[in-house]
Structures are given as C-alpha cells and as structure tokens.
C-alpha cells in the first residue's frame, strides 16, 4: 500500500503558519510553553518564586498555549537555548556575572536588595530589602506602628507588594496611610533612622543617609492602581472627606486611558469587545496617534474603518465628553482586570519575559 504523499506547498503553508504564530506569541506565552516542558516538581519550584499576580498571568497563559504544535514548541525552545548560550558565563569573574544577571533580570535597585542578602557588607540600600519580604510579614511588622511610619515603609515597596500590604492593614488605617503617602515628599535622615529602628535587626544602620525622595501623589496613585475597585472607592471616599483636592490629584494620576497602550493586544481585544462603540469613538478623539494605531491594530480592518468613519462623522466634540468616555472605558478595563479576564500593564499586570 502506497504511503500518502505530502504536497510541498501544503508543508510550506503549515511552516509559514507556525512561524507567524510563533512571532505573535508574547513573552508570557513563550514562558508558559517552557513551563509546560518542565516536570511537575520543577514547574512548582518556578511558580513558588513568582508573585500571586505573576502566577495568575502565567497560569492563564499555560491554558491558552495547550494547543500549539510541535514546530512552535521547537521554535520557542530554540530561542530560549540561543539566549542561554549568549548569556551563560562560567569561570573567572563570577561575582560580576552574578551581579550583571541580577541587574538584567530585576533592575539595578532590586538586584542590590538581593545581593545585600548574599553579601550584607556590600549593601548600600538595606531598606529596599522590604520588597523581598512576604506581604503578610510586612503587615504584621508595621500594623501597630504610627501611620506615618507605615506610610514611609509602604513608599519603599514595589507598588504591587504595597497594595497587598495595604489590603492586610485595618480598614480605618488604609485611607490614612494612602493620604500620608500622597503628601510625602522628602524624608530626612532622622526619619530614615526611625524607620530602621522599627525594622530592628533586619537592616544595618547607615549614618551617611541623605534626604531621600519617597512617596508623593504618583506613588499613592500607583499603589491604588493595584487595589480592587471596591477598595479603591472606599479609600478615595475617606480621603475626600479630609482633602478633596488631594483625592482628585491621586485619582488623576491613577490608571488612565493613555495607559492602555502599554497592555498587550489580547487584553485590548477583550476590552474593545466589552465597551460601547459610542464611548470608543469619543475616547479615540482624545488619544494620540500612537495609541490610536495600537487600538486600530487590535481590530479587524473593517471594524477599524467603520470606527474611523464614525469618528469623522462626529465632528468637533467637547473635551469634557472625551474625558468622560475615556473614564468609562477605563472603568470597564479595571473591572475586567479585577475579574481576571485581562491583565493591564501598569496595573498589576507587568508582562513576564
């Protein structure tokens, strides 16, 4: 019995489709494919090293890539091996290699925090080791301290971790802490020294500290970006009673329409299917060309063309109408993010690579 013949053109078409699919994969999806290649114990060990938000994002991606073919898996694996070959360095200069790897993976500040745990004598920023403590441990450490101390500690945390700590604090303390963070500007050495005393033996004393810029409205807004909508409304409502202008300033610096451009195409596609066309027309009127192009690229050609026609038909519109439409779309985006339907970059959804 003759074996079935595979048409060359068909084989080329399959290869082309695989290459296109591979190019469209995000860093998170490639990571998910690599995770699927690991054994259960190794995969669990990786998961333990991730934050809750990262686990959720990676887990969702692992479900989404279950159906990829072997050719795509091979491409992902080849790319991974190429990266490893370029970056691996064994032998002399291991100290510099470890430092460089840490800085590339985590950024200079966080790398210093990790290195300070390995070589404590070289630590220049001991306070930043807070980012590597568990949220519950930090909350238990600071919950009985003065709100100003709590605010100072929170200002040093990565925003996602700070939001987790905020959630664990007593409700009557949450709004006061956010308000104090928003009004922090510079901190003198005596305040830093008091903070180190609160943290006791977790950090070394540092007598050469200079005034440090921490906190501020933007820092408070970033932390609030990581909170759920219900918690956000409660905290902002409490701040409004004490300082209406401060509440408005925090709100203005929170996740806004322009931030949508940082999110990946899949998240934006889900969002665009969930918003009113009328709101999208108005909102796009106030978007810059780069964001417009990003959103158009997440639509079909026909949908993009129709939207452009509707925008032209609108003519001039009031800025207030545009801003209100953008706020409604952001509200939908935040709701979808809270539900876990999408991950918003800049709001607890930083992509893994």
Site of tokens 């509707």: 310
Task: Reply yes or no on whether the pLDDT at 202 is more than 80.
Answer: no
Q: Same domain, yes or no, for 209 and 273?
A: no
Judge whether 142 lies within some domain. Answer: yes
What are 124's two structure tokens? 């220049």
Query: What percentage of the chain carries pLDDT values higher than 70?
Result: 70
Residues linked to residue 213 through DSSP beta bridges, in sequence order: 186
User: HSE (CB half, 13 Å, CA atoms) of 86?
Assistant: 6
Question: Using CA atoms in the order 76, 81, 83, 86, what is the torsion angle rounded to 10 degrees?
Answer: -160
Q: Same domain, yes or no, for 230 and 263?
A: no
Task: Reply yes or no on whether the pLDDT at 334 is more than 50.
Answer: yes
pLDDT recorded at residue 298: 92
**Closest to 163 (Cα-Cα) out of 338, 309, 342:** 338
Q: Same domain, yes or no, for 138 and 215?
A: yes
Judge whether 347 lies within some domain. Answer: no
80, 139, 195, 215, 266 from 75: Cα distances, Å = 9, 44, 50, 44, 21
Give DSSP secondary structure letters for 204-268.
---TT---EE---HHHHHHHHHTS-HHHHHHHHHHHHHH-HHHHHHHHHTSS-GGGGGGS-HHHH
Q: Same domain, yes or no, for 198 and 159?
A: yes
Please give the residue that has the higher pLDDT: either 252 or 183: 183
Residues linked to residue 212 through DSSP beta bridges, in sequence order: 187
CB 275, CB 332: distance < 8 Å: yes
Measured in residues, the chain has a length of 353
Task: Reply yes or no on whether the pLDDT at 118 is more than 60.
Answer: no
Judge whether 1 lies within some domain. Answer: no
Rounded Cα distance, 25 and 74, in Å:
13
Helix (H) or strand (E) holding 309: helix 301-314
* Total domain count, the chain: 4
- State the chain's mean pLDDT as an integer: 75
pLDDT recorded at residue 211: 37
Q: Same domain, yes or no, for 161 and 233?
A: yes
Q: Name the pLDDT band for 17 (thresholds 50, 70, 90).
A: confident
Judge whether 78 lies within some domain. Answer: yes
Q: Same domain, yes or no, for 220 and 191?
A: yes
Most confident option among 51-65, 102-116, 207-221: 51-65
Class of residue 205 by CB neighbours under 10 A (exposed 0-12, middle 13-18, buried 19+): exposed
CATH number at residue 193: 1.10.220.30
What are 113's two structure tokens? 């925090």
Q: Name the pLDDT band for 58 (thresholds 50, 70, 90).
A: confident
113, 223, 226 from 119: Cα distances, Å = 10, 30, 32
Of 109, 124, 139, the domain-final residue = 124
Q: Same domain, yes or no, for 208 and 282?
A: no
pLDDT recorded at residue 323: 83
Q: pLDDT tens across 282-307, in order?
A: 999 888 888 899 999 999 999 999 99
pLDDT recorded at residue 201: 47
Rounded Cα distance, 167 and 300, in Å:
40
Please give the residue that has the higher pLDDT: either 253 or 285: 285
Q: Same domain, yes or no, for 80 and 173?
A: no
Rounded Cα distance, 238 and 236, in Å:
5
Rounded Cα distance, 223 and 325, in Å:
24
pLDDT recorded at residue 121: 39
Can you give the pTM of this predicted structure?
A: 0.39
Task: Reply yes or no on whether the pLDDT at 91 is more than 60.
Answer: no
* Residue range(s) defining the domain that contains residue 99: 94-124
Least confident window among 56-60, 119-123, 320-324: 119-123
Class of residue 209 by CB neighbours under 10 A (exposed 0-12, middle 13-18, buried 19+): middle
Task: Reply yes or no on whether the pLDDT at 34 is more than 60.
Answer: yes
Q: Same domain, yes or no, for 232 and 267?
A: no
């Amino acid at each position: 019995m003759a074996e079935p013949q595979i048409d060359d053109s068909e084989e080329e078409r399959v290869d082309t489709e695989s290459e296109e699919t591979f190019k469209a994969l995000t860093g998170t999806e490639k990571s998910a494919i690599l995770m699927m290649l690991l054994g259960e114990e190794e995969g669990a060990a990786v998961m333990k090293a991730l934050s809750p938000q990262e686990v959720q994002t990676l887990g969702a991606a692992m479900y989404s890539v279950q159906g990829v073919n072997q050719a795509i898996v091979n491409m992902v694996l080849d790319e991974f091996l190429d990266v490893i070959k370029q970056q691996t360095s064994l032998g002399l200069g291991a100290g510099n290699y470890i430092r460089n790897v840490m800085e590339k993976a985590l950024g200079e500040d966080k790398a210093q925090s990790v290195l300070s745990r390995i070589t404590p004598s070289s630590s220049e920023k001991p306070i930043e080791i807070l980012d590597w403590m568990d949220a519950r441990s930090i909350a238990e450490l600071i919950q009985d301290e003065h709100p100003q101390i709590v605010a100072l500690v929170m200002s040093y945390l990565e925003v996602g971790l700070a939001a987790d700590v905020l959630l664990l604090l007593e409700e009557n303390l949450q709004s006061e802490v956010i308000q104090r963070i928003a009004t922090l500007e510079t901190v003198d050495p005596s305040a830093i020294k008091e903070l180190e005393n609160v943290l006791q033996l977790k950090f070394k004393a540092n007598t050469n500290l200079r005034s440090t810029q921490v906190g501020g409205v933007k820092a408070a807004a970033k932390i609030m970006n990581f909170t759920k909508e219900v918690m956000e409304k409660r905290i902002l409502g409490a701040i409004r009673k004490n300082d209406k202008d401060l509440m408005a300033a925090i709100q203005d610096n929170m996740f806004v329409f322009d931030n949508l451009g940082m999110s990946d195409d899949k998240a934006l596609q889900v969002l665009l299917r969930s918003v009113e066309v009328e709101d999208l027309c108005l909102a796009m009127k106030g978007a810059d060309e780069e964001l417009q192009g990003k959103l158009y690229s997440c639509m079909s050609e026909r949908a993009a063309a129709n939207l452009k026609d509707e925008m032209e038909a609108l003519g001039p519109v009031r800025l207030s109408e545009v801003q209100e439409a953008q706020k409604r779309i952001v509200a939908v985006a935040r709701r979808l993010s809270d539900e876990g339907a999408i991950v918003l970059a800049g709001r607890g959804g930083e992509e893994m690579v």
